[in-house]
A = this chain, B = another copy of it.
Amino acid sequence: MTIHSPGATDHAGPSPNSLALRHLGIHTYREKVLFMRSDCHICRAVGFTVQSRVLVALGDRRLVATVNMVGPELLDSGEAGLSEAAWDALVAKQGDTIVVSHAPPIASLSHLRAKVYGHRLDDHAMREIMGDIVAGQYSDLHLAAFVTACAGDRLDTRETVALTRAMIDVGTRITWPQPMIMDKHCVGGLPGNRTTLLVVPIVAAAGLTIPKTSSRAITSPAGTADTMEVLAPVALDGAGMRRVVEREGGCIVWGASVGLSPADDVLISVERPLDLDSEGQLVASVLSKKAAAGSTHVVVDMPVGPTAKVRSPEAAARLSTELQKVGRAIGIEVRVMVTDGSQPVGRGIGPALEARDVLAVLKREAGAPQDLQDRALRLAGSILEYSAAVPHGTGLALATGILEDGRAWEKFVAICESQGGMREPPQAAHRRAFEAGFRGRVVEVDNRRLARAAKLAGAPQAPAAGIEFLAPIGTEVERGQPLFFVHARARGELDYAFEYLAGQEDVVGIAGEP
């Protein structure tokens, strides 16, 4: 057994539970895993086995990890490995000595069990659960149990308020000198709906404060942060964000780098593969991020359509009410704008293609996508009317004026420069048309399958990849006319997208004679 033990004291000698780290480079997403040899002396003696939860200490840092066993292929006797999430959290180096012991019991699991068994969770219980979650105490199985126990309508409004407060409490909270802080949010599911990049400069140009944090894509071909990133840096920390907002009145940065509502990111990591809808968790996720960003007034864009996230007016009404109730409880004024979710917005789907749409609108180019512009102006107008200086019914005209006289474009350029410098969106090397099989009129568009094709083409990892959509509902098309172009960085990726599309001929539904 070879144990390097720089951390042990002279007298005590190496701890019997210490192991030398070897870097294995295994990415498990967020789950912290300790890889130990199945014949390891510690496992044998202390009774650790696969799936045991153990406390790993490296110097002053410690975390709880799940044990996986490995054989001599990966580790020598006396060695241990970590998943990358654990390696980074411990700031580990090759050869460092870790000490492994039994994980302390997780106190908040009793609250989790109570919820599973049908009891309500109060502020205190939610706070303890969120605290343990951000401290990395919960395994993926515990997280899945929590998400399941809160899914559907299993959280009542009081519990959703408690969850939202707890999620705010366990993260950073930004404060601003201004009494009113504007924000917007879109309940996802509509490709190309990149209004943020228009709303922020309009609202900021009007003199209001709108420090916007956005996410990267989770399951979509582009998140707002991905699209903004092809135009300017977005990974600013809290201080960097504050500097931009102080100077320009607004910003568009990546929320995760600011550290807002970190519990939300953890919960999303299991909600996504489980694909469970939870109204309470959706509301808490949205509003905890807004509250943590210091926002006081939020307009929510809620696209409704058969292939959008919210599929019926009834669901939209229920979700709107809940957002407003919970918002009120935590001091945020929420206005919901139900919008058309039947087809993509603008022409681009994918970071660079969406950015081009945004630039066309800001620069008032001929042929700029009118639907994107209209949606952005409505949202911006609604936000402007939160200001006492803007009478009800005049917001839209004010927003339109700011866009048309070039102030929005100037403000956008200033924000980009302030975030680190504006840049040109990249262009894809390969492009291929998906053509109409027959003559007719476009009557239906499947958002989900278009998004899937854009992802197969490489978006968002390849920022220039995606779909250039040319056939909104109502378009009259000839046989062989391109319905959309797929853009990709490599031929192989183009092929993947078209292999998928070959089986999906009604991704754009045409009424006519086949």
List chain A positions with a Cβ less than 8 A from chain B: 16, 23-29, 35, 38, 41, 44-47, 50-51, 53, 68-74, 109, 113, 116-118, 139-142, 144-145, 147-149, 151-154, 269-270, 272-276, 455-456, 458, 461, 490, 492-493, 496
Contact = CB atoms under 8 A, between A and B. Distances in A.
Contacts of A46: 456, 496
A38 B27 contact: yes
Contacts of A492: 16, 41, 45
B274 A145 contact: yes
A496 B29 CA distance: 34
A74 B44 contact: no
A493 B41 CA distance: 10
Given A116-B148, A145-B145, 8 more contacts: A26-B69, A41-B492, A45-B456, A46-B496, A47-B455, A53-B273, A118-B152, A140-B144
A142 B274 contact: yes
A326 to B, nearest CB: 20
Nearest to A22: B73
Nearest to A114: B152
A486 to B, nearest CB: 13
Contacts of A149: 148
B142 A141 contact: no
Contact residues of A: prevailing secondary structure: mixed
Contact of A23 (B23, B69, B73, B148): B73
Considering residues A51, A69, A109, A148, which has the most beta carbons from chain B within 10 angstroms of its beta carbon?
Answer: A148
B44 A458 contact: yes
A243 B44 CA distance: 36
B276 A113 contact: yes
A47 B140 CA distance: 22
A273 B118 contact: no
Nearest 4 A/B pairs, CB to CB: A25-B71, A144-B144, A27-B69, A117-B152
A139 B28 CA distance: 14
Contacts of A496: 45-46
A493 B113 CA distance: 33
Instruction: Tell which of A25, A109, A275, A456 has the most Cβ of chain B within 10 Å.
Output: A25
A35 B35 CA distance: 14
Contact of A25 (B74, B142, B144): B74
Q: Among A38, A140, A142, A276, find the residue whose CB has the most chain B CB atoms closer than 10 A.
A: A276
B456 A47 contact: yes
A27 B68 contact: yes
Nearest to A149: B148
A297 B145 CA distance: 36
A16 to B, nearest CB: 7
A51 B29 contact: yes
A28 B269 CA distance: 20
Contact of A145 (B44, B68, B276): B276
Which has the most chain B C-beta neighbours within 10 Å: A26, A113, A490?
A26
Q: Which of A70, A71, A144 has the most CB of B within 10 A?
A: A144
B493 A273 contact: no
A148 to B, nearest CB: 4
Given A151-B116, A274-B145, A493-B45, A73 B16 contact: no
Contact of A140 (B27, B74, B140, B493): B140
A28 B68 contact: yes
B493 A139 contact: no
Contacts of A493: 44-45
A290 to B, nearest CB: 27
A139 B273 contact: yes
A454 to B, nearest CB: 10
12 contacts: A25-B70, A26-B35, A27-B38, A27-B70, A44-B461, A51-B273, A118-B152, A139-B273, A140-B141, A140-B144, A145-B145, A145-B274
A72 to B, nearest CB: 7
Given A27-B50, A47-B456, A492-B16, A141 B144 contact: yes
Contacts of A72: 25
Contacts of A74: 24-26, 74
Nearest to A66: B273
A490 B44 CA distance: 11
B141 A273 contact: yes
A496 B141 CA distance: 29
B276 A152 contact: no
A37 to B, nearest CB: 9
Contact of A141 (B68, B270, B458): B270
Contact of A116 (B16, B68, B69, B152): B152
A273 to B, nearest CB: 5
A54 to B, nearest CB: 12
Contacts of A461: 44
Contacts of A28: 50, 68
